Amino acid sequence: MQQVKKGDAVSVHYHGKLTDGTTFDSSEGREPLQFTAGSGQVIKGFDDALMDMKVGEKKTVNIPVAHAYGERNEDMIMEYPSSDFPADMKPEVGMELQMGDDAGNVFPVVIVEVKESTVLLDANHPLAGQDLIFDIELVSIG
């Protein structure tokens, strides 16, 4: 029976949880996730877990921070002047926004604190600093 190897097109169902059991994402009720194994399209720990799996196989994997979204980086928290927000927008903690850099890259940020004249924005991935657990089922190869 065929096993997953680097470069294979794969389809998987998954259920992602934090170590406290909280679900953060799942393909339940949706089409399986499709990507090329070993291509870096998913986090390293998820990619590594698929290697050598067979169609129909299920497994649970614990993915440490280093093979998930990495450690939180305090340099990714930035202070932004409140006056630079649109006049009709009231910044609130937890609000998700899109920012752009000088190179034209767009990335998500979350407001973590609203001060008198500035707002603190966090550009870390929401799962940075977390160990993750995935239940994976290989649906197809190719």
pLDDT for the residue 105:
85
Q: Which pLDDT value is given to residue 107?
A: 87
**Domain parsing of the chain, residue ranges:** 9-70+127-141, 74-122
Query: What pLDDT is recorded for position 15?
Result: 98
pLDDT at 64: 97
For position 62, what pLDDT does the model report?
Answer: 98
Q: What is the pTM of this model?
A: 0.82
**Residues in the chain where the model's pLDDT stays below 70:** none
Residue 59, classed as helix, strand or coil, is strand
pLDDT reported for residue 1: 80
The CATH fold assigned to 74-122 is Thrombin, subunit H (2.40.10)
Spatial distance between the Cα atoms of 62 and 81, rounded to a whole number of angstroms:
40
Contact 112, 122 (CB under 8 A): yes
> Which one is the CATH code of 9-70+127-141: 3.10.20.600, 3.40.50.300, 3.30.1300.10, 3.10.50.40?
3.10.50.40
CA distance linking residue 23 with residue 30, whole number of Å = 16
The pLDDT value given to residue 61: 97
Query: What pLDDT sits at residue 100?
Result: 84
